Amino acid sequence: MSKSLSDICKIQREFDQKHSVSGKSFYVDINESNLHELEHLVVCLMGELGEFSNILKKVVRGDNSLSEAKISLNEELVDTFIYLIKISNQFNVDLEKEFLKKVDKNKRRFGEN
């Protein structure tokens, strides 16, 4: 069963709103008074991307084959996607709408082929 990006964002939001660790909610609306929450999410996003990069580095230098690392790469890429969704949810960005606006802008900028 296929889900839209909006569906996926909603699923993540609902999960985050129901969960916490050590009394800290997985979901906090970002505003001027709690920018440290946004900073934390960005650090987490970059950490996951770093883990993806580290696995890829080891593939490129020959420690593992791409097929051996594929499952780990997939998992780290999805972790990165999750943090991107968390940021969009908590920072109130409609990823679908903003993506489509950006594609239109890029089409005007670079021309359609």
In a domain, 37, yes or no: yes
As for how many domains the chain has, the answer is 1
What stretches of 1-113 adopt beta strand conformation (E)?
20-21, 24-25
Question: For residue 112, what pLDDT band results from cuts at 50, 70 and 90?
Answer: confident
Tell me which amino acid residue 17 is: Q
Could you tell me which of 45, 53, 50, 42 has the C-alpha nearest to residue 80?
Answer: 45
Query: The tokens of 10 are what?
Result: 């909603």
pLDDT at 72 > cutoff 80: yes
Residue 113 has pLDDT above 70, yes or no: no
Close Cβ partners of 76 (under 8 Å, ≥ 6 residues apart): 48, 49, 51, 52, 55
Residue at 79 is within a domain: yes
Please provide the average confidence, as pLDDT, over all residues in the chain: 96
CATH for 75 = 1.10.287.1080
